[in-house]
Amino acid sequence: MSNLQLSHTNTPTWLYRGISEIFPNQPDSQDANDNLAQRLALTKRPLRVKLGIDPTGADIHLGHSIPVRKLRAFQDAGHTAVLIIGDFTARIGDPTGKSEVRRQLSIAEVKQNAETYLDQVRPILDFDTPGRLEIRYNSEWLAGLDLTKILDLLATMTVGQMLAKEGFAERFQQENPIYIHEFLYPLMQGYDSVAIQADVELGGTDQKFNIAVGRDLQRHFGQTPQFGLLVPIIIGTDGVQKMSKSLGNYVGLGENALSMYSKLEKIPDALLEEYFELLTNLPLGDLPKEPRDRQKLLALNIVTQYHGETAAKEAQNAAADIVKTGFTAQADAVPEFPLANVEFPAKLFYILKVSGLCKSSGEGQRLIKDGGVKLEGDRVSDVDLTFDSPAPLDGKVLQVGRKKFIRLIS
């Protein structure tokens, strides 16, 4: 993409797919310190590839998944992903791109958010192959820094350099207050690179300044400076603004399959190419020609990554149902039926009758025999299916044909 100058030797395609910038970047250099492809080719040990995420909110979205996916590509090439959960940095919050100081978060708020983050990135990263993943919380080294060490960090930068950072520059000019603790943020992120001895740091294009500070600090502490690898900031589902939670144009990694699918199958044509490049591993050369087919393939592929193939196909069918009938079992608007009305043990055909999904037990039996009954999306084949208690049915959707649904509640 964009303005990358690539060398034609030593260019692993996985490295260059969907990236905005690598720095330093001397594509024809044989020096492994200023040519990442060269470093990858010559290294005798797995590189330590850093990605930090600040748990400032509860959810992450597809935009955040882009550097995580690149991290996975490094894992697959045999390198070590060092995922930093910024439990300490999150308390200040990255001032990058913010026009005002952020509210500082409490330790408890951050802890709660951090717990949900790992679950959300789990489908993307290789958690299983030994040596491929380190998860570190940056409070490990940041919480205990003493003033002597902090002064040492502060003395590596000037106010002028700090004010050159986008965001700070405008705020200073507009006399919008910048608090001194905000100046510490890039230094803390940079110190993380020192603490974990990063060889490469990944981030969105907005992270260039912070990653460059990491290089300076590593040099200061006698380490070889890391490479920066920047990925684009993605446009949201509205096709206009960058994907963001506050704008509501996002697809959350924790969303259910149907909700994800429904958003992704409507992605505007102009964004499809970029979404395929950044959010899937599909070869870009042979995508379907028809825009509608492209949308469906994109949605199916991404939902499969997070929910598996079966759930993704079900979501695709459910989404088609919504188009045809305006309704599906997985939507929220399913009427609830209290199981308190049912005497247990109970046969499923009896529950069909009591709940009003059919007129008689006989009809219920016939419906099951004909394959017209689904429980939580799975077709029921056993006419005599019996439940001893309401517990296994609680919260499940019982469906007859395409249009009749209830949610069983105990």
The strand pair at 48-53 and 80-85 is best described as parallel
Q: Which is nearer to ligand TYR, 113 or 304 (CB)?
A: 113
What does the per-residue mask of binding to ligand TYR show for 278-317, with x meaning CB under 6 A? ----------------------------------------
* Candidate ranges 3-11, 47-55, 269-277, 384-392; the one touching ligand TYR (CB under 6 A): 47-55
Cα–Cα–Cα angle for 292, 331, 328, rounded to 5 degrees: 70
What does the per-residue mask of binding to ligand TYR show for 128-147, with x meaning CB under 6 A? ----------x---------
User: Should residue 87 be labelled a site residue for ligand TYR when binding is judged by CB under 6 A?
Assistant: no
Helices marked H in 221-345: 257-264, 269-279, 291-307, 309-325
Cross-strand partners of 374: 379, 399
Size of the site for ligand TYR (CB under 6 A): 12
CB of 21 closer than 8 Å to CB of 2 = yes
Q: Which is nearer to ligand TYR, 210 or 355 (CB)?
A: 210
Residue nearest to ligand TYR (CB): 52
245 is in an annotated binding site: yes
Phi (first) and psi of residue 405, to 5 degrees? -135, 150
Residue linked to tokens 């305006």: 326
Residues 160/162/163/164 CA torsion (nearest 10 deg): 90
Q: Which of 25, 38, 81, 94 binds ligand TYR (CB under 6 A)?
A: 94
Task: Round to whole Å and give the CA distance between 394 and 398.
Answer: 11
Q: Which is nearer to ligand TYR, 52 or 364 (CB)?
A: 52
Cβ 251 to ligand TYR shortest distance, Å: 18
Q: Which is nearer to ligand TYR, 213 or 312 (CB)?
A: 213
Q: Which of 54, 182, 255, 314 binds ligand TYR (CB under 6 A)?
A: 54
Task: Round to whole Å and give the CA distance between 311 and 315.
Answer: 6
Residue linked to tokens 């060269």: 38
The residue type of 142 is L
Cβ 312 to ligand TYR shortest distance, Å: 28
Cross-strand partners of 235: 242
Cβ 327 to ligand TYR shortest distance, Å: 40
Q: Which is nearer to ligand TYR, 90 or 398 (CB)?
A: 90
Please tell me whether residue 40 adopts helix, strand or coil conformation.
helix
Please tell me whether residue 362 adopts helix, strand or coil conformation.
helix
User: Should residue 226 be labelled a site residue for ligand TYR when binding is judged by CB under 6 A?
Assistant: no
Task: Round to whole Å and give the CA distance between 350 and 359.
Answer: 10
Q: Which of 120, 210, 304, 399 binds ligand TYR (CB under 6 A)?
A: 210
User: Should residue 232 be labelled a site residue for ligand TYR when binding is judged by CB under 6 A?
Assistant: no
Query: Which residues here bind ligand TYR, judged by CB under 6 A?
Result: 52-54, 84, 86, 89, 94, 138, 189, 192, 207, 210
